[in-house]
Chains A and B, each alone.
Chain A
């Protein structure tokens, strides 16, 4: 499997749209095209193998299930994970006889995860590059705003950042998928499947999704009992064989109970405070109130 110039250019274009300060906008760009699962579909369509694209995208998606960028600090770049990592992983899997024989197997998934996470991590430099170049457009924007040239703000916000993205998204993606595919395939194919480097690759690929889950847990777990909620969901899927739609349905039911309970608690609190106020005032009225 090789990538031609048009395919590489298309991948470069999607990288421009999908990145964190991306030109597709936040909702369509970063949160849709920048999710590896969706990118798997897009890359699959571009490279002509949707099934493999989705398989690879899904594997990488677990690592990036909760990509939060609080205050603009990033540990991973979605454009690199999605539009460099997914194509490279697809090429590597297709060009490796053992992996290509079983693309739905865990070895292929682990290879995809390891490659995607590597690209995503190294790609953080692209994020900082883009936002640094954008500073130049913003400096021009301040001058225009001072002069009352308000319409040029559109240029600053929506047009000039394309230059940042051609430098930091299009060119790196184009070059890496156009040239890098062979290099990655050659390295992988030169190593026997049961060698230590390959075993390490498969093992780290299977371990990396834990980081994605843990990033999310860091956010939602605020007290020790929250672990029970997590273990409950884990047990539903691991032991009771529920799929995620079933898990969601059960989770919604428990959320309803939680909601009702906290609503009652709030009501009780307000009754208690107003009750206390009434006791201080008039005892008869308090009884009526109850």
Chain B
């Protein structure tokens, strides 16, 4: 990183990070999404770099362009633009279009990575473990999730912010390069496997039908493969949403119809539930 005459002070960086950490989505709207969160996180940096009020306003207006990404991993983009703004304040030839080009170019890919890694993998794994710890109503699992998730989120975001500031674009390379892709695939493997475990542990569907020759249908199904019904219904829901492009709400309504029909014909019944409990 170049040795500039004007450097962003540590205090301004810390404040900028805090503003993003807290305020990235507090004023969300469909039209501007995280734009205002971005503005307030750039504000301390810009005030630190520019002395004149009109310079501050002009610099800040750069960041009024639309912005939306995954807020955790996306912290890196804020860090990168802080570095760019610092370079600009020191007279480097960086204009609004350069900064916004980089922002717009990064927010899509990082949103994709963040959604699949954080919301799609990390949080479900933590919640899966936490639900196990909370079985029977113990608060332990909830406390586990609160502590672990918040430590990971805070320090992870801090790391991403300063990494972006120190390394600029090179920081993002590390997230999209071949070894990062391999690591992401590995983490997704953990997520997919754990979600299988979550499905088997926490989805319990059983049938009340009795077979003509004595015995229950549930007993026969258990003999084929335990938890066969949860598996079938999960794959069915996936098929409706992924292959038939149905929304989760429509899928839930279809399940409601199935539940009603099943209750009418005796496939689902209170007896099942009593026997499970």
Contact = CB atoms under 8 A, between A and B. Distances in A.
B255 A72 contact: no
A277 interface: no
Interface stretch (A1-9, A20-28, A179-187, A279-287): A20-28
B141 interface: yes
B193 A37 contact: no
Interface in A106-126: 106-107, 110, 117, 121
B195 interface: yes
Interface in A139-174: 141-142, 145, 148, 150-151, 153-154, 156-158, 160-161
Contact of B204 (A27, A37, A199, A206): A206
A157 B127 contact: no
Contacts of B233: 207, 210
B142 A26 contact: no
Given A238-B200, A266-B179, A220 B120 contact: yes
Nearest to B250: A75
A67 B57 CA distance: 37
Interface string B176-190: 001101110111111
B23 interface: yes
A57 B64 contact: no
A132 B32 CA distance: 11
B255 A207 contact: yes
Interface string B204-217: 11100000000000
Identify the 3 closest CB pairs spanning chains A and B, nearest first: A233-B196, A21-B28, A51-B137
Interface of A: 20-23, 25-28, 30-32, 35, 37-38, 40-41, 44, 50-55, 57-58, 61-62, 65-68, 70-72, 75-76, 102-107, 110, 117, 121, 128, 130-132, 134-135, 137-138, 141-142, 145, 148, 150-151, 153-154, 156-158, 160-161, 193-194, 196, 198-204, 206-211, 213-221, 226, 229-239, 242-245, 247-248, 250-252, 254-256, 258-259, 262-263, 266
22 contacts: A23-B26, A32-B145, A32-B146, A41-B139, A51-B136, A54-B142, A61-B127, A62-B203, A138-B31, A145-B61, A150-B43, A194-B270, A206-B204, A230-B193, A233-B192, A233-B196, A233-B197, A234-B227, A238-B227, A248-B197, A254-B189, A259-B182
